[in-house]
Structure 1
Amino acid sequence: MFRIFIIEDDAKISSMLKAHVEKYGYEAAVLEDFDRVVERFESFQPHLVLLDVNLPKFDGFYWCRQIRHVSTCPVLFISARDSEMDQVMALENGADDYITKPFAYEVVMAKIRSSLRRAYGSYSGRQEERKVEEPGGLTLYPERFILSSAGASVELTQKESMLIEALMNRAGRVVSRNRLLDLLWEDHHFVDDNTLNVYMTRLRKKLKELDMEERIETVRGAGYVLRTMGEETP
């Protein structure tokens, strides 16, 4: 079932949109806390977003850019602002379409169905983006080398992405140095032993930007472990 995320501060409009979306068999969620837009987005993991321009604190253009850091799902703007410049700004900030208010709900549904077909249909030319999640709140988008948590995200290098994915896939368990070396380099026997330490230091710096620097622990003589949230260090 496709999930539709509605970011609209007019309670009447958001309620009507939700009712129409659910009427057509989709799952819908309405944002209620405008301080946690990306966090709620990542929790719900929608296939499509309906996004207003005029919102509390930050406008829809800003939030569209933030969503684009963590997802390529279709974003449809719905707004009473009908100038050409607003529509241009929406598209240049990552939107897929722009619907002006007042609108016919059937037109909105038609655009939703069309966008979902283009994004996820058999002729879309792409598959749904792969992501790796772990219970501690980290989400990795390996195809784009993006690591995110609680609404914040950082860009990784390819090898940093490979390292954190290996640790996330075995969260709470030690991943040996040899296993990581085999993963990153075809013949690690010609790689300086300190090289892995350098990459791990860089990865920890990226995690520090997400307030998760302490998640990776070095297990002397064994390898590294991504500690799960709440897990005590032995």
Structure 2
Amino acid sequence: MKNKIFIVEDDPNIRDIVSAYLKKEGYEISMVDNAEDAWELTRDSRPDMWILDIMLPGMDGYELCKKIRQESEVPIIIISAKDDEVDKILGLELGSDDYLTKPFSPRELVARVKRIFKRIDSSVTGGLEEEQELQLGDLVINTNDRRVFWQGKEVEVTAKEFDLLTILISNQNRAFAREELLSLIWGEDYFGSDRAVDDLIKRLRKKLEDLPIETVWGYGYRMRSKTEEVK
């Protein structure tokens, strides 16, 4: 079955070029030029990924990203002419999985799309050996179908949130540098700020209250094997 991608972009040239490249790779594409129509599309069909422009007429891409995240953890890639770090961080804080600044290479976008889908389809994260279930206290991760359970209840997480959890729980008490986590989760060719890692941690702490992730000041993070050791 083809993966379905919704493209929300008001520039017809960018929309058509991106669509052509993605269709060539076998993806099913739906295109709209505004967020309101994009949201209406979800009444009849749910995409496997969103590609959103930020500067849209009417509702902007940030607001659409928020609406999507209220109902789904489907991957979101933001494409925008805004290249300030604050804009990238805002996009990540709202739950996007990646942020690409215009102008960009269509091949680079395709590579990022493939990487996200590959990460979702694979039960191996960061070169770790395949395991069916990982557990730490109240946290249970099923790596085969990428499901996360906290205190007996399933929690919806994004692809990158899942990857980070899997890396940390598989290496309990080991401190990871932010740069190392950035490379493992986003790929070695990612040149964004390591604040993206801080944002992932922030989102996980909000979703999984009392999760035993410890901040290693000036360095990175580690998952403690005992909750009482968390600072």
* Aligned counterparts of 1:20 and 1:119: Cα–Cα separation in 2: 21
Number of equivalenced pairs = 133
Larger radius of gyration: 1
2:29 is the alignment partner of 1:11: no
* Aligned counterparts of 2:25 and 2:122: Cα–Cα separation in 1: 17
Residues 109-148 of structure 1 aligned to structure 2 (within 5 Å): 109-123=110-124, 125=143, 127=145
Residue number in structure 2 paired with 1:74: 75
| Paired residue type of 2:104 | F
* Aligned counterparts of 2:71 and 2:31: Cα–Cα separation in 1: 19
Contact 2:33 2:56 in 1 (8 A): no
State the Cα distance separating 1:79 from its structure 2 match: 0.7
2:36 is the alignment partner of 1:35: yes
TM-score scaled to structure 1, two decimals? 0.52
| Paired residue type of 1:37 | A
Q: Deviations over 1:95-139 (max 9, x none)?
A: 01100000011100000001111223343636378xxxxxxxxxx
TM-score scaled to structure 2, two decimals? 0.53
| Matched residue SS, 2:42 | helix
| Paired residue type of 1:9 | D
Gaps of 5+ in 2: 126-142, 148-152, 157-231
Q: Deviations over 1:2-61 (max 9, x none)?
A: 111101111111111111100001111102454233231342311111111101112111
Provide the alpha-carbon RMSD of the alignment. Answer: 2.3
Q: Percent identity?
A: 34
* Aligned counterparts of 2:18 and 2:72: Cα–Cα separation in 1: 22
| Paired residue type of 1:119 | I
State the Cα distance separating 1:70 from its structure 2 match: 1.6
| Paired residue type of 2:38 | V
Gaps of 5+ in 1: 130-141, 146-234
Q: Which runs of 4+ in 1 moved over 4 A?
A: 142-145
Taking a change above 3 Å as real, the CA distance of residues 76 and 25 of structure 1, as seen in their structure-2 partners, is same
